[in-house]
Amino acid sequence: METYIRKKPNFVRRRMMAHSRLGRRRKKLQKWARPTGRHNKMREKRKGVPVSVSIGYGSDKKVRGKIQGKQIVFVENLQQLEKVGTNQIAIIGKIGNKKKLEIAKRAKEKNIEVQNLNVEKFLKMIEKKLNQKHEAKKIATEKQRSKEKEIAHEKKHEEKTQENKKNFQEKNSLGFSTSQEKINSVENKVEGDKKWILEKRKN
């Protein structure tokens, strides 16, 4: 005689369909919570309300605690991954991206199935991030170099201006200290020449 196994429903909390925060049209938020209210219809197991978790909905003993008929192995490092056999499926624990990348690469090499990680997608994402980081670093170095060049150019220009200023001051020390004095001297010279010419004409 065949044993009858009831079809396992999607166990969700009471009033889930009424509120978005409880999981209405949001599958990730849909979870089971045991009803505890005094007048809760779900706790009283009335008709027309979602069913509660109870005996009779369990899986067959042959497939219980398995995924796709394979035994679950929790992996947190490469040593644990090496122990995963052919009839087993790996589930990666809560680890950082550095360890996860090592595990993903090794799993791809050994063709090990991982339940909670799309290995190829993860590797592509990490590669993309690394490329972006490399490009950003390249741009930053180029900016730094251009900045250094600008500073060097400004410094050179400043040195040149100071040198010109020094030369000008040296020239002035020999002759005239300022441009106004130079103009005045020229004007005096012109006036002196004019006077000399007039005096010569008179004579």
Mean pLDDT over 84-106 rounds to 93
pLDDT tens across 186-199, in order? 667 767 777 777 77
Q: Domain ranges in the chain?
A: 1-58, 64-117, 124-202
Question: Given its phi and psi angles, is residue 100 left (phi above 0), alpha (psi -120 to 50 degrees) or beta?
Answer: alpha
Distance of alpha carbon 42 from alpha carbon 12, whole angstroms: 11
Average pLDDT of every residue of the chain: 85
Supply the pLDDT for residue 113.
Answer: 93
Task: For helices 119-174 and 97-110, give the axis angle rounded to 10 degrees.
Answer: 130
DSSP secondary structure string for all residues of 140-155: HHHHHHHHHHHHHHHH
Question: Based on the number of CB atoms within 10 Å of its own CB, is 75 exposed (0-12), middle (13-18) or buried (19 or more)?
Answer: buried
Six-digit token string for 98: 């550095």
Mean pLDDT over 85-114 rounds to 93
Distance of alpha carbon 96 from alpha carbon 35, whole angstroms: 36
| Segment among 29-38, 49-58, 140-149, 155-164 with least mean pLDDT | 155-164
pLDDT tens across 11-70, in order? 999 889 999 999 999 999 999 999 999 999 999 999 998 899 988 888 888 888 898 889
